[in-house]
Structures are given as C-alpha cells and as structure tokens.
Amino acid sequence: MRELSLNVLDIAQNSITAGASLVEIELNIFELEDRFEIVIRDNGKGIEEEFLNKITDPFVTTRTTRKVGMGLPLFKYSAEQSGGRFEITSKVGIGTVVKGVYIISSIDRMPLGNIEDTLITLIISSNKVDILFSVKSDRGNGYLDTREIKKVLDGVPIDSIEVIEFIKNYIKENLSYLYGGLE
C-alpha cells in the first residue's frame, strides 16, 4: 500500500463483507500534538474474541481463495512504523472499531493520499451500505453522510456516475481543506 487511504478502503471493505449497514470513517487531526487518527467503525456482525486475538497475524484469514490475509497487518504496520499505534475492538452482534494513530512529522508516516477516491470507491462497491465520513481538525469540522445524499436523491441510484462525480467534488471543495497537508 502506498497511501493510508488505500488501507482505509481495504479495512472498510471488510466492514461491508461483515454485513454492516453503516460504516463510519473518522479522521481526527491534532496538529499541535503532531498526531492524527483514522477510525473505521461499523455495525457489522463483529468478530469472536478468540479470532480477534490473532487477527493481525497475516496467516489468519476468513477467506477461502487463499491462505493469507494482509489487510489488518498492513494497516497495523502503517501506524506503528510512524511511531503511532493500532487498536481493534469488536463485539459479536454489535460491530467492530479499527483505529490507527499516526505521528504526523514522522519520516516513516505514509501520506494520507486520495481519500476522495477511497470514499467514492466504497460507495460504488455497495450502494446498500451507508458511509459517514467525518473530519475533526484544528481548522474546523465537517462530514459527508450518504444517508443525507440518498434522501435528496429520492430513488435515483447513488452509484450513478453523475452522482459519484458530484460527491467527489463535494468532498474536494467542502472537506479537503480540513485535512490538507497530510496527503
């Protein structure tokens, strides 16, 4: 993975596979403390405690097409190599929270990358899942909620190409100034 937003895409895909109806992606930036965190929270089926304990082992996976699962190990690595940390908590029947904390000035911190493309890819991936993307930073707060967008659309599919383009530009024009500089 060359940018953190690709890790976010990968982890959020797990949430969709887990049957989540809402995936929340939070970007909390504390510039004065030289750190930021990425939180991916879902209301999917959750993970059994026994499996959770070994989940960052790349040779543990639920998939059947191959024997390795690199998604969470790569995300964990991305946080730890910047001097930050990784957390995962989960409850069966309630959902899962994955969190990465990053040191902004670390030379080993990967760039955040193109978070707009990650969000539209997720929306295209499953038009049934709702995405709540929120950013908190010293510059202000903002969010994008696909539930609000679907309400306006009134039956027009959210994954139509015209709508996806609107969403991409919406994030760029309304939210990107909040996390500018981390890319």
Partner 1 sequence: MKSLAELTAIRNKMKAQIDNREVEKDGDILIKVGMATCGIAAGARPVMTAFLEEVSKRGLKNVKITQTGCVGMCRLEPMVDIFVKGEKVTYIKLTPDKVVKIVADHLVNGNICTEYLIGKEN
How far is 59 from 100, CA to CA, in rounded Å?
A: 21
The alpha carbon dihedral of 5, 6, 7, 9 has a sign of: positive
Closest distance to partner 1 from the beta carbon of 177 (Å): 10
Among 65-73, 84-92, 94-102, 130-138, which window interacts with partner 1 (CB under 8 A)? 65-73
Sheet-wide strand order for 95-103: 85-91, 95-103, 35-42, 22-30, 130-137, 140-145
Please report whether residue 128 would count as binding partner 1 according to CB under 8 A: no
Closest distance to partner 1 from the beta carbon of 161 (Å): 5
Neighbouring residues of 116: CB distance < 8 A, sequence distance ≥ 6: 168, 171, 172, 176
Please report whether residue 170 would count as binding partner 1 according to CB under 8 A: yes
Please report whether residue 63 would count as binding partner 1 according to CB under 8 A: yes
Build a one-symbol-per-residue string for 14-53: x at contacts with partner 1 by CB under 8 A, - elsewhere: ---x------------------------------------
Please report whether residue 9 would count as binding partner 1 according to CB under 8 A: yes
Question: Closer to partner 1 at the Cβ: 91 or 172?
Answer: 172
How far is 167 from 149, CA to CA, in rounded Å?
A: 9
